[in-house]
Amino acid sequence: MTTYGSFPGTRPRRLRSNPVMRRMVAETRLHPADLILPAFVREGVSEPVPITSMPGVVQHTRDSLKKAAAEAVAAGISGIMLFGVPEESKKDPQGTPGTDPDGILQVALRDVRAEVGDDLLVMSDLCLDETTDHGHCGVLDDQGRVDNDATLERYAEMAQVQADAGAHVVGPSGMMDGQVGVIRDALDQIGREDVAVLAYTVKYASAFYGPFREAVASSLQGDRRTYQQDPANVRESMRELALDLEEGADMVMVKPAGPYLDILARVADAVDVPVAAYQISGEYSMIEAAAEKGWIDRDRAILESLTGIRRAGARNILTYWATEVAQKLNRQ
């Protein structure tokens, strides 16, 4: 005799039964257009320089950077975020290479715009840490503290120089109070209302930045806890968000991404502007290191980590795997 209505009557597993079914009902999808590639360009090198703590990532030459930008266009990703690494001898307390039209970042911006035009959003890191001999994100006062308002003057000049060099988007990452408003005003004063500001709205003083310090040849001694946010705080992040929007941010970002998915979700729920998240160097290197040891499936771990960031609310993700992942998505 057949028994009907047996427990369980509802079987969610039916929607997981095969790859096509799982693909059809997937609630979160990654697309190449979601991705932005952070890239480093180093002055005075003739070959790309491997970053030992970030396997597979290099400090580019000007020529190899142009090639990477062209590959990004072909893969269909949306942007490339450039970080310039000047020669050590050119660093100074004011971060002069950051506002020199012939500084490595400005040269690289012109190179990449000439290579890709408007087929890729060319973004620039707007910060002094790569160019100062003390490694902080701003200029110092006579007591060795980061001087917020003096730094804003430098940021305003940087914004104008980067816009002149071809940046579609500037990304002020220094976490100075008032930086978005000052940069927006500086751009508008030179008639560059078209240049967007991607605000580093939530940027925590994280241990996961470690490999990035090698990538940009940082000169930092000490830490950045007087201006980057305390990992323990949430309300502080929402206050920063309100301030950045009031000052004219076009897009906002959470950094790091993986350890702060709760913050990312809060931000995404609160705003009607695009939200980005930066999967930073330490997040990248942990997966690469574990995969190298054979402890995890590299490709699955990469996609899982990015899907989690996207699911939490990021419209766009800065990731060092951007081009590689986009190429794989295009083959699916």
Catalytic (active-site) positions = 203, 255
Find out whether 44 and 84 touch, Cβ atoms under 8 Å: no
Task: Report whether 281 belongs to an annotated binding site.
Answer: yes
**Strand pairing class (196-203; 169-172):** parallel
Measured on CA atoms in the order 62, 106, 225, 277, is the torsion positive or negative? negative
Q: Which residues contact 143 (CB under 8 A, 6 or more apart)?
A: none
Distance of alpha carbon 152 from alpha carbon 331, whole angstroms: 45
Task: Report whether 320 belongs to an annotated binding site.
Answer: yes
Distance of alpha carbon 285 from alpha carbon 211, whole angstroms: 8
List beta partners, residue 169: 123, 196
Give Cα separations from 317 to 136, 161, 276, 322 (angstroms).
25, 26, 6, 8
Find out whether 57 and 320 touch, Cβ atoms under 8 Å: yes
DSSP three-state, residue 65: helix
Task: Report whether 260 belongs to an annotated binding site.
Answer: no
Measured on CA atoms in the order 248, 151, 173, 242, is the torsion positive or negative? negative
Residues annotated in the binding site, as ranges? 213, 224, 240, 281, 320
Instruction: Provide the annotated binding site for 5-aminolevulinate.
Output: 213, 224, 281, 320
Annotated binding site for Mg(2+): 240
